[in-house]
Amino acid sequence: MKESEIKKQWEEIEKINKKEQVKILKGAEVNILDDGTLDYEDELLKKLDVVLIAVHSGFKSSKTKMTKRILKALDNNYVNILAHPTGRKIFQREGYKADFDEIFKKCKQKKVAVEINSDPIRLDINDRMILRAKQIQVKFSMGTDAHTQSSLENIKYGVGQARRGWLEKNDVINTLSYKQLIKFLKK
């Protein structure tokens, strides 16, 4: 989205938040560029309630380059969640190669949650990686990757992945109260 579109979206969110008892957070999934920088400036990122980052290109980079790219992006202080961490799409594309132990350690250090993407095409990350990240004491975020209302039901697939990875309620930031979630996001 362009910055002008984001600001228009924020106005709509603020209108809803004033009227409704539900709180909608201002957030964005931001591209990790090839050099590890993000495609939105910090000036914009600091105005968001939640910032997800993800690789959307350059999937065939070497393991070393991809690892450095993601680690650099995780150094941005406005980042809250690493989205669809391996980039895989089942039957379409294998996940990219990276040193996920190093990435998970950086996530723990920077208090960045790792997304469990519930879209049946992704199911990213798998149960073994979830368990490994849990052992490193990473927190998780459950996402549906929903682009339509009906896709929200995909959350059940992510819950299945989380269970196979031995996650408990306190491992997943979606289970936090609103106040606890905001505290986590503000780091």
pLDDT score at 86: 97
Q: CA-based angle 143:149:152, to the nearest 5? A: 30
Q: Which residue has the tokens 């990757």?
A: 145
What's the pLDDT band for 4 if we cut at 50, 70, 90?
confident
pLDDT score at 44: 94
Answer yes or no: is 3 within a domain.
no
Torsion sign across C-alpha atoms 149, 151, 155, 156:
positive
Instruction: Check whether 42 has a pLDDT greater than 90.
Output: yes
Residues 6+ apart with CB under 8 A from 163: none
Looking at the DSSP bridge assignments, the partners of residue 93 are 89
Answer yes or no: is 9 within a domain.
no
What's the pLDDT band for 36 if we cut at 50, 70, 90?
very high
> How many residues in total does the chain contain?
187
pLDDT score at 158: 96
Instruction: Check whether 33 has a pLDDT greater than 90.
Output: yes
The torsion of the CA quartet 93, 94, 96, 98, rounded to 10 degrees, works out to: 170
Residues of the chain with pLDDT > 70, as a percent, come to 100
Q: What tens digit of pLDDT does each residue of 101-119 get?
A: 999 999 999 999 999 999 9
Answer yes or no: is 14 within a domain.
no
Instruction: Check whether 48 has a pLDDT greater than 90.
Output: yes
Alpha carbon distances (Å) from 121 to 88, 148, 151, 169:
8, 15, 12, 25
Answer yes or no: is 115 within a domain.
yes
Looking at the DSSP bridge assignments, the partners of residue 27 are 50
Q: How many Å is the maximal CA-CA distance in the chain?
A: 49
pLDDT score at 21: 86
Answer yes or no: is 18 within a domain.
no
**Total number of domains constituting the chain:** 1
Answer yes or no: is 67 within a domain.
yes
Query: Residue 89 burial (CB < 10 Å; 0-12/13-18/19+)?
Result: middle
Residue 48: give the domain boundaries.
27-186
pLDDT score at 76: 98
pLDDT score at 103: 99
Q: What tens digit of pLDDT does each residue of 124-180 get?
A: 999 999 999 999 999 999 999 998 999 999 999 999 999 999 999 999 999 999 999
Hey, is 118 helix, strand or coil? coil
| Mean of pLDDT over the chain | 96
Answer yes or no: is 7 within a domain.
no
Token pair belonging to 183: 């505290």
Answer yes or no: is 102 within a domain.
yes
Instruction: Check whether 82 has a pLDDT greater than 90.
Output: yes
- CATH assignment at residue 76: 3.20.20.140
